[in-house]
Amino acid sequence: MPQRKRGLAPGAGRRRLRAEEDVFPFNSLPVECQLHVLAFLPELDKCNAALVCVSWSRLMRSGKLWRVADFSRRGASHAGQEGLLVSNREFERWKAWVSHYVHHLISRGASLLTLRASFDLGDRYNKWGELLSHLLDSVHCRDLSHLDLNWTFTLLEPLDLRPHSGSASHQESVTKADQVENFQVLLAKLAHSCPRVTRMRLHFDWSETSASLLGQFRHLRVLELRYFWVFKGVNPGTLQTLTKALPSLRSLTLHVLVPLRNLGVSYTLESDSLEFLDVSQSRGLVFSRLRLPALRELRAKKAVRGITLDRRTRLRIQSRWPCLYQVLREGAPKLQALNNERLLPGWREQGYRELTVILQQACYCLQHLDSWLW
């Protein structure tokens, strides 16, 4: 009698089918979809993913996965640590990491959207400016949209305790001159190679050459300019020309330290597109005229300078400046918020107590407290 075949248990087929359904067919997706998914991985995880299989290793070589060049990460051994005092050996290790990172981005054919870096461009020994220029020449950066650059300071650099010949002030002046020169060279390369930058944060020297180069970034929408040197003044005409040269600018943050010799100087700001202006971190920055028809929010703070002046000199300086309220009434008709406080709809026609309190914190005129110089 022929043996009857034993049928499969009813649950076995269902378990096998369910196991097959749980396996996501990643390799069956279009390449663009695979790249989009892998793009969400951190850089270290991308390197680990390249070890999974041959197909993933091939995917990880795509320049579309390497969109960010972040030299401010302090390397893997110092991630998340601030204010470190490091040894020369640790600094050399970090320099080696920077070199390998640049080689990695170039070998992957990176297509950069973001560049973050903190290098002292006045460093004649390490020549960080040449390193950044080499990176920009070797990768695709035409679509770079976000630039965060501190060109006055190198991360993890040990303190230089060696005695220098000559006066310290002369040595500092030479260093600052080297920094500005190399910054302008790098900024010119960025303007040529990365014309589509929309967000930018950097220290700025406010020279006419630097302002002219910055004005070439016609797509800039968000700009933050930090102070470069406490002894470096800002020419009122340079500030006015710069803002007029950026037709797409929506947000502007200024860290300006007006030197003591320029006390009494006031500034004009003009922009048809600017909607947000933050000068709360500036010192001594006083506006005599604004023409900002699209401005909706302003942040400004009156900074105490800690200077002792006789009353006559103080009044002579402050009498040159108009009240911020009058400047805003005439030059910012669409203003809705001042120092994070919502303005009443009729603020231009008539002032009110809460607005006066805000102006006492922001305005340098005689009417709103004349003791700011003490």
Residue type, 1: M
Q: How far apart are CA 77 and CA 96, in angstroms?
A: 12
Map tokens 């009729």 to a residue: 346
| Total-model pTM | 0.83
Map tokens 């050996």 to a residue: 89
Cα distances (Å, whole numbers) of residue 339 to 181, 269, 297, 300, 355: 36, 18, 8, 6, 10
Are the CB atoms for 239 and 223 separated by under 8 Å? no
Q: Give 273-287 pLDDT, tens digit per residue.
A: 999 999 999 988 889
- Packing angle between helix 128-138 and helix 88-107, nearest 10 degrees? 20
Band of pLDDT at residue 184, cut at 50, 70 and 90: very high
Mean pLDDT to the nearest integer, 301-307: 70
β-pair type (146-150, 114-118): parallel
Name which of 47, 55, 49 is nearest 108 in CA terms: 47
Beta bridge partners, 117, equal: 149
Mean pLDDT to the nearest integer, 234-262: 90
Mean pLDDT to the nearest integer, 30-43: 80
Structure tokens at 289: 């005229």
Structure tokens at 304: 């105490």
Q: Exposure of 284 by Cβ count < 10 A (0-12 exposed, 13-18 middle, 19+ buried)?
A: buried
Cα distances (Å, whole numbers) of residue 160 to 154, 163, 301, 343: 12, 9, 36, 51
Are the CB atoms for 94 and 102 separated by under 8 Å? no
Q: Exposure of 7 by Cβ count < 10 A (0-12 exposed, 13-18 middle, 19+ buried)?
A: exposed
| pLDDT tops 90 at residue 265 | no
Name which of 17, 38, 34, 16 is nearest 25 in CA terms: 34
Q: Give 347-365 pLDDT, tens digit per residue.
A: 999 889 999 999 988 988 8
pLDDT at 120: 92
Beta bridge partners, 224, equal: 201, 253
φ, ψ for residue 312, nearest 5 deg? -65, -45
φ, ψ for residue 292, nearest 5 deg? -130, 80
Band of pLDDT at residue 374, cut at 50, 70 and 90: very low
Q: How far apart are CA 198 and CA 302, in angstroms?
A: 30
Q: Which helix (H) or strand (E) holds 189?
A: helix 168-193
Q: Give 200-212 pLDDT, tens digit per residue.
A: 999 999 999 999 9
Q: How far apart are CA 119 and CA 157, in angstroms?
A: 10
Radius of gyration in angstroms for the set of CA atoms belonging to the chain, rounded to a whole number? 28
Are the CB atoms for 331 and 292 separated by under 8 Å? yes
Mean pLDDT of the chain: 83
| pLDDT tops 50 at residue 79 | no
Q: Exposure of 201 by Cβ count < 10 A (0-12 exposed, 13-18 middle, 19+ buried)?
A: middle
| pLDDT tops 80 at residue 172 | no
pLDDT at 76: 43
| pLDDT tops 80 at residue 119 | yes
Report the share of the chain in percent with pLDDT over 90. 48
329-347 as b/e: b if 16+ CB within 10 A: bebbeebeebbeeebeeeb
3-state secondary structure of 49: helix
Q: Which helix (H) or strand (E) holds 175?
A: helix 168-193
pLDDT at 280: 93
Where is pLDDT greater, at 307 or 51? Answer: 51
How many CB atoms are closer than 10 A to CB 127?
Answer: 14
Highest mean pLDDT among 32-46, 81-95, 109-123 belongs to 109-123
Beta bridge partners, 341, equal: 338
Residue type, 171: Q
Structure tokens at 77: 């051994």
Half-sphere exposure of 233 (CA within 13 A, CB side): 12
Structure tokens at 36: 């989009």
